[in-house]
């Protein structure tokens, strides 16, 4: 309980600091709620609020707006929060997959959780496009992904896959099922952004040389399109390229 209290104290400080840069009504509401929990814990240190607090902190961790602040402030209990999420029936498994892809390079200590959660022959495309609930649920109880923005889902998924691949290419290449990359490459031949991200994934999976990789891009994309895409993903590409090159 002391670790939880310390984490909440740090989270309050972090959110207050964040508010000084950007006023946000939702963040203000979360801060008020956190301060209420903080007060109760300080007044009743033996009060068994652990499960309720873990529920609340876990929900904040799944919120893209707060995930990095929560993870940083609650780093000492980050694994506890993830294990708590995993055991929660209402947990949005797709959102968890995305959040973990953003956190894994910042908090390598969660890698074992990721490896055990998405183990042998895991298919990320199946997770996102067939269900946004636990894969342990029977098909009849899975909630189908909204098909009105499939390109948007796929772009988000490919970015997440790249994060995982750049973190530990050897493990994710050998343990995950990447066959759907080729399916979507054929299906989305007209969508240059999707194809660009797929080629980025294939570059890592097949360990393509820079010469071969950029030669392929030049064949597939016009110079203007390629410039636009490289500018759009410039920040991510630079960091990921550096991380990947250091690991090989």
Residues 110 and 145 in one domain: yes
Same domain, 174 and 224: yes
101 vs 34: CA distance, rounded Å: 26
Domain identity same for 78 and 182: no
| pLDDT classification of 132: cutoffs 50, 70, 90 | very low
CA distance 89 to 145: 18
Q: Do 55 and 140 reside in the same domain of the chain?
A: no
**Same domain assignment for residues 149 and 207:** yes
- Pick 1 or 83 by higher pLDDT: 83
pLDDT of residue 237 exceeding 90, the answer is no
- Domain coverage including residue 207: 93-248
Enter the pTM of the model: 0.76
> C-alpha angle with apex 160: 89 to 73, nearest 5 degrees?
65
- Kindly report the average pLDDT of the chain as a whole number: 76
Find all residues with CB under 8 Å of 28, minimum gap 6, and list them.
19
Q: What interhelical angle do 50-61 and 78-86 show, nearest 10? A: 90
Residues 8 and 55 in one domain: yes
Q: What is the pLDDT of residue 161?
A: 96
Examine the fold and report which residue of 48, 70, 91 is the final residue of a domain before the chain moves on: 91
What pLDDT score was predicted for residue 102?
94
Over range 104-113, report the average pLDDT: 95
Among 91, 125, 144, the domain boundary falls at: 91
Give the domain-ending residue among 56, 91, 126: 91
pLDDT tens sequence across 175-227 = 999 999 988 887 766 788 999 999 999 999 999 998 998 888 888 889 899 88
Judgement on whether residues 121 and 234 belong to the same structural domain of the protein? yes
Residues 52 and 2 in one domain: yes
> Where do the H-state alpha helices sit in the chain?
2-19, 25-43, 50-61, 67-73, 78-86, 93-103, 111-117, 124-130, 150-167, 169-175, 180-187, 192-205, 210-220, 223-232, 234-247
In sign, the C-alpha dihedral spanning 180, 141, 78, 31 is positive
User: Which of helix, strand or coil describes residue 144?
Assistant: coil
């Amino acid at each position: 309980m002391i670790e939880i209290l310390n984490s909440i104290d740090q989270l309050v400080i972090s959110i207050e600091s964040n508010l000084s840069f950007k006023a946000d009504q939702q963040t203000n509401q979360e801060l008020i709620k956190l301060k209420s929990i903080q007060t109760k814990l300080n007044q009743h240190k033996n009060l068994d609020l652990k499960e309720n607090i873990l529920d609340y902190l876990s929900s904040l961790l799944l919120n893209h707006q707060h995930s990095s602040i929560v993870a940083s402030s609650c780093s000492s209990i980050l694994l506890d929060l993830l294990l708590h999420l995993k055991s929660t029936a209402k947990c949005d498994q797709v959102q968890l997959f995305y959040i973990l892809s953003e956190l894994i390079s910042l908090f390598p200590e969660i890698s074992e959780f990721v490896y055990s959660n998405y183990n042998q022959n895991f298919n990320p495309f199946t997770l996102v496009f067939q269900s946004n609930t636990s894969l342990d649920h029977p098909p009849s109880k899975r909630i189908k992904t909204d098909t009105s923005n499939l390109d948007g889902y796929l772009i988000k998924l490919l970015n997440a896959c790249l994060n995982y691949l750049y973190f530990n290419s050897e493990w994710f290449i050998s343990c995950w099922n990447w066959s759907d990359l080729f399916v979507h490459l054929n299906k989305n031949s007209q969508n240059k952004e999707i194809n660009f991200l797929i080629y980025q994934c294939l570059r890592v999976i097949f360990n393509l040389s820079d010469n071969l990789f950029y030669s392929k891009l030049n064949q597939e994309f016009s110079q203007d399109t390629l410039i636009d895409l490289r500018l759009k993903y410039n920040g991510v590409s630079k960091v990921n390229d550096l991380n990947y090159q250091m690991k090989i």
